[in-house]
Amino acid sequence: MSTALPTRPTPTAHHPSHAPRGLLPVVLAATFMTSLDVFVVNVALPSLQADLRAGPAAVQWVVAGFALALAVGLITAARLGDRYGRRRVFELGLALFTLASAACGLAPTAATLVGARVAQGLAAALMGPQVLTILRTAYTGAAQARAFAMYGLTMGVGAVFGQLIGGVLIRADLFGLDWRSCFLINLPVGLAALALVRRCLPESRAPRPPGLDPVGVALSTTGLTGLVLPLIQGRAQGWPLWTVLLLIASTALLAGFVLHQHRTRTTGSPLVDTRLFRSRTFAAGLAAQLAFWLGQASFFLVLALHLQLGRGLDALAAGLVFTAIGLGYLITSTTADRISARLGRHALTLGALLMAAGLGLLALAAEPGPTTSVWWLTPGLFIDGLGMGLVIAPLTSAVLADISPHLAGSASGVLATVQQVAGALGIALLGLLYYAAPTPTTAFTHSLAALTTLELLLAALLQLLPRTP
């Protein structure tokens, strides 16, 4: 039985028939840029390292700076949207992201690029929770399901095709820009979206705008930094003492954050309203999100490593192999809302089992040899993509389904934070398994076994969701 929170009427929620026509393209343009920039940079690293004469630490921070800033800023950004207006904060994030993308593409030194990537991550954090909250409050019913389906499709396209897009841009070398085009491609998209924000996005905020909870902001920011930073940097540096101490400190800080939020709920304005977790759908959905994203980012990493280290492909050829996942994902993600409406949580369970089956097929074709071309990987990748398409959007929609509009911002911040932290944790844990193996092929098969187990765990966790959509 679902323990839905009471829904309060809000003057800023819009009936689907009254939602501006351009709302969805504008917020999805921001979603696509954020998703793309998480993955496209992996292809650009060798070129930018040579061009900027960057050392290994600087190159690592080009990736880590973005991920860290994004992860630690989401909860606070959600509160800013509730208080100052979701459209206003989204517009600010979009403008800063576009400006930071230009700074990345024009960076004269590695240090400048790292700073611009951190700014990009903070800007993406400002946008992310607003997108989820706008979709939750601007649409209802079938229109909301379709909106989240398009959101999931956009996230997946940016993630799955990011490496291919980067490879094509670098190979084309437009205007001699080389790796810089991977960042500058955001400028026309960002500027076009900015021109439409005020026309297409209605302003909304929490009915009783909450305070900022500075203690909560400090605890969540430092706690998440202490958790995510060692996960990003620890394996590459051999897990030095500072990473262990930070992880221990982050546990205490995040525990203090939870305690502070619970106390503040009755005496002030908490950054995260703990009433959210009274909803079985929200709590179970977050657990499922954790399992899903633990495997997703880490799978893309080990697949890219296997294709380039184990199979000797260049970035563009590896990106072409990724299209097998993309094709499967496109097929199911475009119809996931209708399938989920008919099958309820069983649609998500089917998706998790398809991913497990796809990973199993990949393991059978992982060993390179005279009769096992790299293209033997494509059936497993295609089936995995089919499963992904059935999970991403419906699971995101399910997590927020029971949440009343006045708590939507807080719930969106928590959801987005879980996704980012789970991704970092998954990469750290699977990285330990991958790099402990004696050969790239053995590393890949061991990783696939762990990921298959994780997908089966996801299928079990999904049974905690309500049966009906």
Residues 384-402: what's their mean pLDDT? 89
Alpha helices in 53-140 (DSSP H): 56-84, 86-106, 110-138
User: What is the distance between the alpha carbons of residues 404 and 8, in angstroms, rounded to a whole number?
Assistant: 6
- How confident is the model over 207-246, as pLDDT tens digits? 766 677 888 889 999 999 999 889 888 877 888 999 999 9
At 2 the pLDDT is 36
At 28 the pLDDT is 94
- How confident is the model over 262-319, as pLDDT tens digits? 888 766 678 888 888 888 889 999 999 999 999 987 898 888 888 877 888 877 788 8
Residues 6 or more apart whose Cβ sits within 8 Å of residue 126:
73, 77, 80, 89, 90, 92, 93, 96
- How confident is the model over 20-70, as pLDDT tens digits? 788 999 999 999 999 998 888 877 887 888 889 888 778 878 888 898 899
Query: Which CATH superfamily hosts domain 17-196?
Result: MFS general substrate transporter like domains (1.20.1250.20)
- How confident is the model over 425-453, as pLDDT tens digits? 888 888 888 888 888 889 899 999 999 99
Answer yes or no: is pLDDT of 88 > 80.
yes
Pick 97 or 314 by higher pLDDT.
97
The pLDDT-based confidence of 86 (bands split at 50, 70, 90) is very high
> SS3 for 210?
coil
At 379 the pLDDT is 93
The mean pLDDT value of the chain amounts to 86
- How confident is the model over 179-216, as pLDDT tens digits? 999 999 999 999 999 999 999 998 888 776 667 788 88
The pLDDT-based confidence of 11 (bands split at 50, 70, 90) is very low
At 210 the pLDDT is 67
CATH number of 273-469: 1.20.1250.20
- The crossing angle, in degrees rounded to 10, of helices 86-106 and 110-138 is 150
Pick 359 or 160 by higher pLDDT.
359
pTM of the model: 0.84
Residue 216 token pair: 């909560």
At 155 the pLDDT is 87
Residues 247-275: what's their mean pLDDT? 85
Same fold for the domain at 17-196 and the one at 273-469? yes
Identify any residues that bridge with 372 across adjacent strands, giving them in sequence order.
369
- How confident is the model over 54-67, as pLDDT tens digits? 887 788 788 888 98
Rg (CA), the chain: 21
User: What is the distance between the alpha carbons of residues 457 and 353, in angstroms, rounded to a whole number?
Assistant: 10
Q: Is 365 exposed, middle or buried (0-12, 13-18, 19+ CB in 10 A)?
A: middle
Identify any residues that bridge with 315 across adjacent strands, giving them in sequence order.
none
The answer to whether residues 138 and 23 touch, using CB atoms and an 8 Å cutoff, is yes
User: What is the distance between the alpha carbons of residues 235 and 63, in angstroms, rounded to a whole number?
Assistant: 14
Residue 28 token pair: 């999805």
User: What is the distance between the alpha carbons of residues 209 and 399, in angstroms, rounded to a whole number?
Assistant: 23
Locate the domains of the chain by residue range.
17-196, 273-469
Q: Could you give the C-alpha distances from 336 to 356, 361, 438, in angstroms and in order?
A: 18, 23, 40
Percent of the chain scoring above 90 in pLDDT: 42
Residues 407-419: what's their mean pLDDT? 88
The pLDDT-based confidence of 372 (bands split at 50, 70, 90) is low
In the block, tokens 């009343």 appear at 404
The pLDDT-based confidence of 369 (bands split at 50, 70, 90) is low
The pLDDT-based confidence of 3 (bands split at 50, 70, 90) is very low
User: What is the distance between the alpha carbons of residues 261 and 264, in angstroms, rounded to a whole number?
Assistant: 5
Percent of the chain scoring above 70 in pLDDT: 93
